Amino acid sequence: MVLSVNLEIMTEQEIKEELCYYDLRNPDVVGIYGMTDEELKEDGYGNHAKKDCSCDNCFYGRTKMAEELLKYVSNGG
């Protein structure tokens, strides 16, 4: 018996879409237009997950997995 596996490799862009909604690396980040740098910082935006965040990506663990995948990709994995 021969098993066939079809693996699709996620692009870096697809991985970033799984980051916290408040992470500025996420291309789908919401609510930043017209906000000053100070307002962004106060609301928890940055190149990281928002502290104690419960957005869908954080709640379901996608953010943590995306962070690990980005480390792997950046190391030439």
What would the pLDDT profile of 7-58 be if each residue is shown by its tens digit?
Answer: 678 899 999 999 999 999 999 886 677 888 888 888 888 899 988 999 999 9
- Give a yes or no: residue 44 inside a domain: yes
- Give a yes or no: residue 7 inside a domain: no
Exposed, middle or buried: residue 3 (CB in 10 Å: 0-12, 13-18, 19+)?
exposed
- Give a yes or no: residue 6 inside a domain: no
pLDDT at 13: 93
How many structural domains are present in the chain?
A: 1
Domain range for 19 is 12-74
- Give a yes or no: residue 25 inside a domain: yes
Does residue 32 contact residue 23 with C-beta atoms inside 8 Å? no
Task: Look at residue 60 and tell me whether its pLDDT is greater than 80.
Answer: yes
